[in-house]
Structure 1
């Protein structure tokens, strides 16, 4: 039951991201062959105000002057290296890739998570990446309205508005699409320059 719900959520998120979202931060959609890729990157920086090693709480001050406490888990083994004045940089990436696949290709449903951490003794840092893929079938196209209806692996159909209508020219009824949604978060701590 839970796996089916996750599949539905990923399908809806991917369809909405690809077909209905405005791109931000100047990120362009690119096309290569019959694929579409959209991505968004956000970068946040804050200065360490204080570190409570016993309670594992780091106090950060952002560019707007807002101060917040963050509880740091025990898996962050390099917390003792963090000092007041250090700069914490967090990068977020979300991207969606859509590719028309040949009929009969194996279904692309699935997911993976990758975690990379700094080695003990290094300045704290790491990255986590989550990637989910699904296959959807084009069930309806409305070029005048700029919409496409996609049927996901759960058999449900979602109608989405296409951001760039010329992308409707790249698909036809019955096409199978491989939709891959990627999220990545990277954190690093550095000494001020």
Structure 2
């Protein structure tokens, strides 16, 4: 098989980092470190190209279970002519949530961001898209026995959230501000068998 594209390697590194579990974050002023939580899941789909309709820009893929599906490929995929019957397509999906305790009023990281990386013209098709959404929430109540935390979001509404690992409730206090980052990433690569 040919070497995987740099794009796929970048996506894999991002996915490994995000799915790692726990991490240490610098506070926004850089003075001290606080623990943060990163939880994520990765799904992988590998399929074989069984047909390519260049006029309609439709690629037909067959997965390991024998299911066959058609995928419409947009014009932004300039390397579609390189795709041939028998090529192996790998698609990786990541969803993660990262939570960091920050000093009140320092939520410069709140907002949304989208990053798109594509293979260069003439290379085997591949690419990655990452969407991140960050928001701040204030800890209003902690129920260690029930394993929940009540958070007030930027809209002023309070929600009660079940915590995956109740031990993490020891890392926050009522009044703390949390920077919560939701990440979705998709990476695709095409290789010759």
Q: Which moved more, 1:96-105 or 1:57-66?
A: 96-105
User: Quick check: 1:126 aligned with 2:100?
Assistant: no
CA distance in 2, matches of 1:106, 1:167: 21
Q: Which runs of 5+ in 1 are unaligned?
A: 1-26
CA distance in 1, matches of 2:20, 2:128: 24
CA offset digits 1:16-52 (Å, max 9, x no partner): xxxxxxxxxxx55214332111111111100000000
CA offset digits 1:95-134 (Å, max 9, x no partner): 1110111123245320111111111111111111111111
Q: Which runs of 5+ in 2 are unaligned?
A: 1-18, 25-33
TM-score by length of 2: 0.82
TM-score by length of 1: 0.82
**Contact kept in structure 2, 1:134 and 1:178, CA below 8 Å:** yes
**Contact kept in structure 2, 1:109 and 1:133, CA below 8 Å:** yes
SS in 1 for 2:81: helix
SS in 1 for 2:170: helix
**Contact kept in structure 2, 1:100 and 1:176, CA below 8 Å:** yes
CA distance in 2, matches of 1:80, 1:29: 40
CA distance in 2, matches of 1:42, 1:106: 31
**Contact kept in structure 2, 1:107 and 1:135, CA below 8 Å:** no
Q: What is the aligned partner in structure 2 of residue 171 from structure 1?
A: 172
2:21 paired residue among 22, 29, 39: 29
CA distance in 2, matches of 1:106, 1:47: 45
Q: What is the aligned partner in structure 2 of residue 56 from structure 1?
A: 57
> How many pairs align?
166
Q: What is the aligned partner in structure 1 of residue 91 from structure 2?
A: 90
CA distance in 2, matches of 1:131, 1:151: 20
